[in-house]
Amino acid sequence: MTIKVGDKLPAAQLIAGTAEGPKPMSTDDIFAGKKVAFFAVPGAFTPTCSAKHVPGFKEHAGEMKAKGVDAIVCLSVNDAFVMKAWGENQGVMDTILMVADPAGDFTKALGLEMDASKFGLGLRSQRYSMVVDDGVVKELNVEAPGEFKVSAADYMLAQL
């Protein structure tokens, strides 16, 4: 069952890739009491994710914060070391919290996993974004396979 607008996010443990090393974080650590612009990608360092998805959220971060967003969070089914390296590569470590869902447990609990084995990636997250307010989904934008439209930062900015 896929999560929907109005649902509370399931409890899960994620791992942030930080300058100090991997930092375990619960979904409460990330979402409780905050308005969060959250987006998930199929893979760090992949073409669309690196050329469009992360740069869009970096570009619009100030506008999002001006509209009440407390944090911008990017998730991928990867490890925290990859997420840290990707965040550094993208120049977003001070703007976007890069979190790993190593086994895809959170992604599966949301019902937003996909099998990317044909691309050599295995279990991954679908491409999506959501506005989360105090752990409750307020907007959910899931891309059609191969698309990059509704999960983009400018689309979310219009929703805020």
Q: Please give the Cα distance from 82 to 101 (Å, whole number).
A: 11
Cβ-based burial of 36 (10 A; exposed 0-12, middle 13-18, buried ≥19) = buried
74 has catalytic annotation: no
Catalytic residue among 30, 41, 49, 110, which?
49
Q: Please give the Cα distance from 5 to 39 (Å, whole number).
A: 15
* 29, 120 contact by CB (below 8 A): no
Cβ-based burial of 6 (10 A; exposed 0-12, middle 13-18, buried ≥19) = exposed
* 137, 5 contact by CB (below 8 A): yes
Find residue 71's DSSP bridge partners.
36
Catalytically active residues are 49
